[in-house]
Amino acid sequence: MKLEILSKEVIKPDSPNHLQALHLSLFDQFLPTTYVSAIFFYDDQPNQEPILVHTLKNSLSQTLSLFYPLAGRIKEGITVDCNDDWTKAAKGFADTVNPEFAASVFYPPADISVVFPPLLEHKTKSKTKSFVFGTLMLEKLKSRASCGLLVPQATRVESITALLLRCITNARRSKTEEVTEFAITHTMNLRPRVPLSFLPRKAIGNFFFLPLVKETSESNMEIQETVSKLRKTKEDLNDLITKDSEESNNNSDVAKERIISAMLSFLCEVSPEAETYAVSSWCRMSFYDADFGWGFPVWVAPGFVGKTQAVLMDAKDGEGVEAWVTLPEMDMATFEHDDELLVYATVSPSVLTK
């Protein structure tokens, strides 16, 4: 599928803002420079295109009045310039989310120089494919991924992540005889894991943890073993958050420092020669509830999945999971025909058949 851009237009907030500059937080600085987008597919609305476009423009303009830093420009890597002249009168909104712009108060920006582990660069083209894990196969995969006392009940994200990594590294291993180091990252959302003293629930900005799992091409990446390692990263993170909480009288400053130090340590541990693979979960994000006035989407997909990355999303039924994987073309040719993968997943059908 090829996307064609028909037109571009700058949309400004509907009402003026009071904040002239928003300081980025330290976690915003940690994040590599990249755009994250999603594509929503809807049933065709005959002869309604002008109305739909007008509705989208107005809705975006009103939304930007609440999330106005999203309409600004980043300056010097540490602030978002919100000082633009909006001329329309302010309007009232009911039942809306009122974001807080306080992340930099809790995690001030710093003069840091972090070299992020680059995703594996290839001179050849990459290819993105989508695979669906249905409910029945997910239960079978979770049963296989669970391992006694260590992980008595693996989650669907842990199970799929472990299977994908096993098949991805197998595909990569088949292309070279050299021993290769794999650096595997999987993004963890900190918001549901920490108390409000760490960050207000409605604070806008990045707040994530990026643990690291290191393997070599000599490892078979057994699914249960990988799930155990993924689970341990969660337990280690919980320890960073809760350690000494009673003695510190609920003072979170020490725990914040531990989390930040751990993040920096992981980033510095990655060898420049390592092949980096990243897995992110977008599950439970309610993409299929996005009704802009003409019904719910029939399909939602990531707008872009970078090289050697995988993104997990809820399937439309809310029970299954869709995995979007990008690999070098030669690796994908092996990966998409992996018998072990195809036991649990099927290639997603075209959106035209949905």
**92 contacts 6 by C-beta, under 8 angstroms:** no
Q: Given a cut of 50, is residue 189 above it in pLDDT?
A: yes
| Region 126-353: CATH code | 3.30.559.10
Closest listed residue to residue 101, CA positions, set 207, 208, 252, 202: 202
At residue 273's C-alpha, the angle toward residues 175 and 77, to 5°, is 125
Closest listed residue to residue 179, CA positions, set 98, 273, 269, 112: 273
**162 contacts 227 by C-beta, under 8 angstroms:** yes
Helices then strands, counting H and E runs in the chain, come out as: 9, 14
Calpha distance 274→253 (Å, rounded): 33
pLDDT at position 94:
43
Calpha distance 251→124 (Å, rounded): 51
**266 contacts 210 by C-beta, under 8 angstroms:** yes
Per-residue pLDDT of 204-242, as tens digits, reads 888 888 888 888 878 888 999 999 999 999 898 888 888
Enumerate the domain spans of the chain. 21-106, 126-353
What mean pLDDT do residues 7-26 have?
74
SS3 352: helix
16 burial (CB, 10 Å; 0-12 / 13-18 / 19+) is: middle
pLDDT at position 163:
96
Calpha distance 101→105 (Å, rounded): 9
Which two structure tokens, joined as six digits, stand for 169? Answer: 């590294």
Per-residue pLDDT of 35-60, as tens digits, reads 788 989 988 888 877 888 888 888 88
At residue 344's C-alpha, the angle toward residues 342 and 346, to 5°, is 55
What mean pLDDT do residues 128-156 have?
93
* pTM of structure: 0.83
SS3 90: coil
